Amino acid sequence: RDELLWLAQKLREEQVPHFWLAGGTKVLFSDQGFKGVVINLRRFKGIRELSPGRLEVLSGTPVAAVLAYGLKRGFGGLEFMAGVPATVGGALYMNAGAFGEEIGPWVEEVEILTPEGLKRFKSSPSWWSYRSFRGPSGVILSVVLRLNPTSPAEIKRKIEEVLRWRRAKQPLGLPSFGSVFKNPPSAAAGYLIERAGLKGLERGGAQISPKHANFIVNRGGARAEEVLYLMERMGEEVWRRFGVRLKPEVQIVSV
């Protein structure tokens, strides 16, 4: 924390452009890179049990590590996140979820590096909406999660069920940033993209997955501009055919 606070202060004082990176699962940097400092939080990780089922988790901790801790100690609730290659901080920023569940309701409080300094806040239901965090602005450094007492056997069963579904439905064998677009109210984004006839479309090393149309996979050497081209085609075709505007889940970072 001291190092991060010192660094944040220096970057503000020197007015250096900077970007806070969690796991990077939902981030696409332009081919020109980023002209500034990138602060990678992946090594800012750890789990501390405050009381049974109440865990303080540093933002760079992988979601998988929280699931593993819960499995060992008998605390469940986040099994729907199994297979999501995100850090806890990144998952909070987009209120990650699956199967009709989201991480937001499991949050009790957050520690945020705000422009005024480091502050702790009690979570509010108003912060969390579909794939969005509307809490105080700043950088999430830690979170307190409250999980439910659950038998390890039940936790394991749920995790295995989720992983089986992901292996069957999603192209896990190639690099991707998961779902490209948020699901609109009318229908799943993948369904609309598939109906638009775009499944399997390629541009350079990037391809709209033949297995799941809301995934863009890197078949080798894909450039950001190729991914962006496919994203634009997906959005344009769905709008033209169905009158639905798709909103990206992915954060695009340019120079």
Give this prediction's pTM.
0.91
> What is the dihedral angle through the alpha carbons of 129, 135, 139, 143, rounded to the nearest 10 degrees?
-80
Residue 181, beta-bridge partner list: 248
pLDDT in tens, 50-107: 999 999 999 999 999 999 999 999 999 999 999 999 999 999 999 999 999 999 999 9
- Going by C-alpha positions, the residue among 75, 80, 82, 106 that lies closest to residue 92 is 106
Would you state the structure tokens that stand for residue 196, as one six-digit string?
């638009």
Which positions are catalytic? 131, 179, 249
Average pLDDT of the segment spanning 215-237: 97
Q: Token pair of 194, please?
A: 């598939």
On the question of pLDDT at 255 being above 80, the answer is: no
Q: What is the pLDDT of residues 147-206, one digit of tens each?
A: 999 999 999 999 999 999 999 999 999 999 999 999 999 899 999 999 999 999 999 999
User: What confidence category does residue 254 fall into, taking pLDDT thresholds of 50, 70 and 90?
Assistant: confident
* Cα–Cα distance list, 220 to 15, 120, 130, 225, 240 (Å): 37, 43, 32, 14, 30
Helices (H) and strands (E) in the chain, counts: 6, 19
